Amino acid sequence: MNDQSPTHDERVAGLKGLGTSRKRVEDARFTQGKGNYVDDIKMPGMIYGDFVRSQYAHARITSVNTAAALAVPGVIAVLQAADLAPLGLHWMPTLAGDKQMVLADGKVLFQGQEIAFVVAEDRYALADAIELVDVDYEALEVVTDPFKALEPGAPVLREDLAGQTKGPHGERIHHNHIFRWEVGDAPATDAVMAGADVVAEEMVYYHRTHPCPLETCGCVASMDKINGKLTMWGTFQAPHVVRTVASLLSGIPESSIRIVSPDIGGGFGNKVGVYPGYVCSIVASIVTGRPVKWIEDRMDNLMATAFARDYWMQGKIAATKEGKITGLWCHVTADHGAFDSCADPTKFPAGFFSICTGSYDIPVAYVGVDGVYTNKAPGGVAYRCSFRVTEAAYFIERMIEVLAIKLGMDSAELRRINFIRKEQFPYQSALGWEYDSGDYHTAWDKALNAVGYDALRTEQTQRVADFKAGKTRKLMGVGLSFFTEIVGAGPVKNCDILGMGMFDSCEIRIHPTGSALARLGTISQGQGHATTFAQILATEIGISADLITIEEGDTDTAPYGLGTYGSRSTPVAGAATAMAGRKIRAKAQMIAAYLLEVHDNDLEWDVDRFVVKGVPERFKTMKEIAYAAYNQAIPGLEPGLEAVSYYDPPNMTYPFGAYICVMDVDVDTGVADIRSFYALDDCGTRINPMIIEGQVHGGATEAFAIAMGQEIAYDEMGNCKNATLMDFFLPTAWETPHFTTDFTETPSPHHPIGAKGVGESPNVGGVPAFSNAVHDAFRPFGLTQSHMPHDHWRIWRIAEQLGLHA
């Protein structure tokens, strides 16, 4: 050993592995404008397609006149439902077991619905042509309220389902009813409610909003007739699922379909499902023999692609007079719009909403969900959350506040009394989930301490007095949120997307000169997988992350995976990565044993090498081992150094966190100033602290937007009121608050590296924090519940209704 050999710590640092804030490899291309997004793709002979969309929310299409459009120079074709019908493609199956129109088949069911697909040589001729397509409508009665939709005389939306009293999830009780899903123990819960000291009841509405990634959805579909291969680049959060669906719909074998997700400009759940644009592009490419590009406008994106939320949650929470919760009851009216294209695992039409017992030890609970059709865009998707987890977390964190009001208690204390205790993990919830690990009390104490909670309450009490004395017109709100979410879908035995089990995968090849290439079944849309998954591997196999290339998104080369959404990449593909890494290391150990002429068990692993136990000067580095794998004929071992893992997680993971928002609310203008926002996250093992912090900033900003103004609203005629960025609230750097991030680290016991995932926690935990702050500001004046979003006029209305303007 010479004096220049690196120390143990230097070798660890050189790996840039787990736990380091490694700078991102993606940034080189993005900061220089060299990303490769779908709309950057140009192919010889490429043509463009786009839709004629419905002005009406519910109408029969009596005629579509395309003559003027076809006369525009450069226009090639106009596809309608009748053109897709012979291929069986005018309707397509949704991810929720429903079907949806690809092109209007006799009628339209929501404003913005696709009526015809026009194809032209260039975008400009295409736009001119679309304007010239003349559609005649016969307006039908519109229903946008899911409760009205279930009334006896409500208009019939889904004529295609006429007479079908059974849907993919059981009985349909009304022509606009989709499913009823139940979990928990209804009789036991009713009994608890009936006998409880205190029952607080509230209707909590989580309004309709939209993931609105900065890049809209789109694709380039190219049918190569000579080779019989269909290639499609697109904004796909689950490229392998798209390939399987494309094969099932088109009849082309999967071996002749290649799906590529290039760089994606944000997904947030918006890019999980299959949209009519993808199907029409494929058909147009087959018909014309040329590549067809479809890129939607922002209005198309907001009006027609999958919305999120729209859950009316009627809740009852029972407790002893000391504040110990004894039961939770929830009935949800779920507004799915015109088609149920919810992206959920198939057995879960309401996603994982049953996580709604939250962070609390609630012995008895019941949830019932009724899905309903209305004349709105179809969906919904999990917008930066696991399936319906934002809704569940918002529900329970509001019910806690409502209960605290009824009990006359501080809600921080009410939470503390009811948290699942550390000793109770793994914890079986009353609604059937096994929470893997948690230490809620430690996190809560840390958070309350960090914000100076007691001092805030003292300040608030003074502020209420000052307000009543006329010294100020600003109220102060402290918004508390302690969330537990359920991510990392999921075990194949109960989680599948269209029948594909929700495992994930990693395939690794080590090169003779000691670098590596790994491919995953997931696809980053900004989360930094190329950077972070290399870190996981670096720590497992002792090769520097800088020498590990990570690839995702090309179904020709990547192992099958279920994609990236619902914070599943780290829990599932991250686990597969670690397991594949361990397979590499296991073979590497055998190679090292051969090279060192010892038995496998005589070796121990040390950062980046195998060392003979007790003989530190005898070792083989991974670099040496990699070369030997290609260079040596080792008895009993194949040449090369490669491994694959398809990982079926034994459980979901359960990240949690404590968020506290302090705001000052002007009761006369409705303007809320966010004074501070503290976010403590526990995502288990922390792979890259810099990236975790970035995820929290981003998710908390989306939470801020959703809670404080972002919505997709309709008038009674079904006109969408927020179809542009004028009225769909995306905050700028000016409105967005500053975030203070913190953490605890409670590893997941079942995950190979103990990591739980974090990308969506801030949206899950953030919305209740902001919303509870608004509610808290008005609590002293009698407010129990006011629906989001808390934009200026709605905050003003709270004050008005409480008589604070007199």
Partner 1 sequence: MIPSAFEYYRPLSVSDAIRVLVDHGDDARVIAGGHSLIPTMKLRMASIGHLVDLQAIADLRGITVGDTVRIGAMTTQDELITHAGLTEAAPILKEAALQIADPQVRYMGTLGGNVANGDPGNDMPGLMLCLDATYALTGPDGSREVKARGFYQSAYFTERTDTEILTSISFPRPVGGLAYEKQKRKIGDYATAAAAVQISNAGGKVAAASVAMTNLSDVPVWSEGAGAALTGTDCGPEAVQAAVAAMLEDINPSEDSRGPVAFKRHVAGVILSRAIARAWSRA
Partner 2 sequence: MAKMHLTMTVNGKAVETLAEPRELLVHVLRERLNLTGAHIGCETSHCGACTVDFNGKSVKSCTVFAAQAQGAQITTIEGIAGPDGMHVLQQSFREHHGLQCGYCTPGMITRAYRLLQENPTPTEAEVRFGMAGNLCRCTGYQNIVKAILAAATEMNSAKEAAQ
Q: CA end-to-end span of the chain, whole Å?
A: 84
If DSSP codes are grouped into helix, strand and coil, which group holds residue 500?
strand
If one asks whether residue 212 binds partner 2 (CB under 8 A), the answer comes out as: yes
Residue 40 binds partner 1 (CB under 8 A): no
Comparing C-alpha atoms, which of 679, 766, 765, 779 is closest to residue 410? 779
Per the DSSP assignment, residues forming a β-bridge with 35 are none
The answer to whether the CB of 228 falls within 8 A of the CB of 256 is yes
- Residue 714 CA to residue 657 CA, distance in Å, equals 34
Nearer to partner 1, 373 or 796 (CB): 796
27 binds, among partner 1, partner 2, none (CB under 5 to 8 A by kind): partner 2
Q: What does the DSSP assignment read for 289-333?
A: SS-EEEE--HHHHHHHS-EEEEEEEEEEEEE-TTS-EEEEEEEEE
129 vs 576, which CB is nearer to partner 1? 129
* Binding piece for partner 2, criterion CB under 8 A, among 350-358, 559-567, 732-740, 798-806: 732-740
User: Contacts with partner 1 in 653-712 (CB under 8 A)?
Assistant: 668-671, 709
- CA gyration radius for the chain? 28
Q: Which of 320, 458, 721, 782 binds partner 1 (CB under 8 A)?
A: 721
Burial degree of 321 (CB within 10 A; 0-12, 13-18, 19+): exposed
Query: Which listed residue (105, 439, 507, 702) binds partner 2 by CB under 8 A?
Result: 702
Chosen residue from 387, 729, 739, 778 binding partner 1 by CB under 8 A: 729
Nearest-10 crossing angle of helices 440-451, 453-468:
50
**Active-site pick, 80, 111, 113, 237:** 237
Stretch that binds partner 2, among 158-166, 326-334, 578-586, 692-700 (CB under 8 A): 692-700
Q: Find out whether 519 and 507 touch, Cβ atoms under 8 Å.
A: yes
- Please choose which of partner 2, partner 1, none residue 414 contacts, taking the beta carbon within 5 to 8 angstroms, the exact cut-off set by kind: none
Annotation says 237 is catalytic: yes
CB atoms within 10 A of CB 449: 10
Stretch that binds partner 2, among 36-44, 53-61, 88-96, 248-256 (CB under 8 A): 36-44
Q: Which does 99 bind (CB under 5 to 8 A by kind): partner 2, partner 1, none?
A: none
Q: Do 802 and 781 contact (CB within 8 A), yes or no?
A: yes
Q: Which of 22, 158, 384, 463 is catalytic?
A: 384
Phi, psi of 533 (to 5 degrees): -70, -30
Q: Does 700 bind partner 2 (CB under 8 A)?
A: yes
Classify each residue of 232-246 as buried b or exposed e, where b means 16 or more C-beta atoms within 10 Å of its C-beta.
bbbbbbbbbbbbbbb
Stretch that binds partner 1, among 24-32, 123-131, 366-374, 403-411 (CB under 8 A): 123-131
Please work out the total of residues on this chain that contact partner 1, with binding judged by CB under 8 A. 28
Q: Which of 330, 385, 661, 683 is catalytic?
A: 385
19 binds, among partner 1, partner 2, none (CB under 5 to 8 A by kind): none
Of these, 9, 33, 162, 166, which contacts partner 2 (CB under 8 A)? Answer: 33
Nearest to 686 by CA among 698, 697, 696, 678: 696
| String of contacts with partner 2 for each residue 294-333, x by CB under 8 A | -x-xxx----------------------------------
Separation of alpha carbons 293 and 117, rounded Å:
12
The span from the CA of 386 to the CA of 567, in Å, is: 7
Which member of 345, 526, 581, 655 binds partner 2 (CB under 8 A)?
526
**CA-to-CA distance for 274 and 232, rounded, in angstroms?**
13
CB of 778 to partner 1, least distance (A): 16
Number of residues that bind partner 2 (CB under 8 A): 57
Which region among 109-117, 290-298, 333-341, 786-794 touches partner 2 (by CB under 8 A)?
290-298
Q: How far is CA 725 from CA 213, 655, 770, 802, in A?
A: 12, 32, 22, 32
Q: What is the nearest approach in angstroms of partner 2 to the Cβ of residue 265?
A: 3
Burial 140-160 (b: 16+ CB within 10 A, else e): bebbbbbeebbeeebeebbee
Work out whether 40 is an interface residue with partner 2 (CB under 8 A): yes
CB nearer to partner 1: give 298 or 509: 298
Long-range contacts of residues 101-104, Cβ cutoff 8 Å, at least 24 apart: 101/276, 101/339, 102/276, 102/279, 102/280, 103/79, 103/276, 103/280, 104/54, 104/61, 104/80
Task: Kindly state the smallest distance separating residue 407's Cβ from partner 1, in Å.
Answer: 33
Q: Are 391 and 313 in contact (CB under 8 A)?
A: yes
CA distances, 63 to each of 52, 138, 142 (Å)? 13, 10, 20
**132 makes contact with partner 1 (CB under 8 A):** no
Q: Considering the rule CB under 8 A, would residue 30 count as an interface residue with partner 2?
A: yes
Cα separation, 341 vs 678, in Å, equals 35
541 binds, among partner 2, partner 1, none (CB under 5 to 8 A by kind): none
The nearest distance, CB 50 to partner 1, in angstroms, is: 9
Q: Is 131 a binder of partner 1 (CB under 8 A)?
A: yes
Q: 31: Cβ–Cβ under 8 A, 6 or more apart, which residues?
A: none
Q: Which does 671 bind (CB under 5 to 8 A by kind): partner 2, partner 1, none?
A: partner 1
Q: Does 123 bind partner 2 (CB under 8 A)?
A: yes
Interface pattern 528-557 for partner 2 (x via CB under 8 A)? x-----------------------------
* Nearest distance, CB of residue 302 and partner 2, angstroms: 10
Q: Does 206 bind partner 1 (CB under 8 A)?
A: no
Please, what is the minimum distance in Å from the beta carbon of residue 178 to partner 2?
30
User: Which stretch, 137-145, 232-240, 603-611, 725-733, contacts partner 1 (CB under 8 A)?
Assistant: 725-733
Per CB under 8 A, the segment of 34-42, 237-245, 459-467, 724-732 that binds partner 1 is 724-732
Which residue in the set 800, 801, 802, 804 belongs to the binding site for partner 1 (CB under 8 A)? 800
* Partner whose footprint covers residue 35, from partner 1, partner 2, none (CB < 5 to 8 Å by kind): partner 2
Give the one residue of 735, 749, 780, 781 binding partner 1; rule: CB under 8 A: 735
Does 698 help bind partner 2 (rule: CB under 8 A)? Answer: yes
Fill in the amino acid letter for 313. M
Out of 730, 783, 802, 804, the only residue in the binding site for partner 2 (CB under 8 A) is: 730
Q: CB-wise, 114 or 624, nearer to partner 1?
A: 114
Judging by DSSP bridges, how do beta strands 615-621 and 609-612 pair with one another?
antiparallel
- Alpha-carbon distances of 336 from 146, 208, 275, 793, rounded to whole Å: 9, 10, 16, 27
Q: Does 690 contact partner 2 by CB under 8 A? A: yes
Contact present, 115 and 51 (Cβ < 8 Å):
yes
Distance CA 527, CA 349 (A): 27
Q: Which stretch binds partner 1 (CB under 8 A): 17-25, 108-116, 754-762, 788-796?
A: 788-796
Tell me how far apart the alpha carbons of residues 272 and 305 are, in angstroms, rounded to a whole number: 10
Residue 739 binding result from partner 2, partner 1, none, given CB thresholds of 5 to 8 Å by partner type: partner 2
Element (H, E) at 589: helix 575-596
- Exposed, middle or buried by CB within 10 Å (0-12, 13-18, 19+), for 805? exposed
DSSP class of 753: T
- The structure tokens listed for 3 are 């004096």
| 385 catalytic residue (yes or no) | yes
Give the residue numbers marked as catalytic: 237, 384-385, 760
The site for partner 2 (CB under 8 A) is made up of 23-24, 26-35, 37, 39-40, 42, 123-124, 212-216, 263-266, 268, 295, 297-299, 525-528, 690-691, 693-694, 696-702, 724-726, 730, 732-734, 736, 738-739
- Positions that interact with partner 1 (CB under 8 A): 123-124, 127-128, 131, 297, 668-671, 709, 713, 721-722, 726-727, 729, 731-732, 734-735, 791-793, 796-797, 800, 805
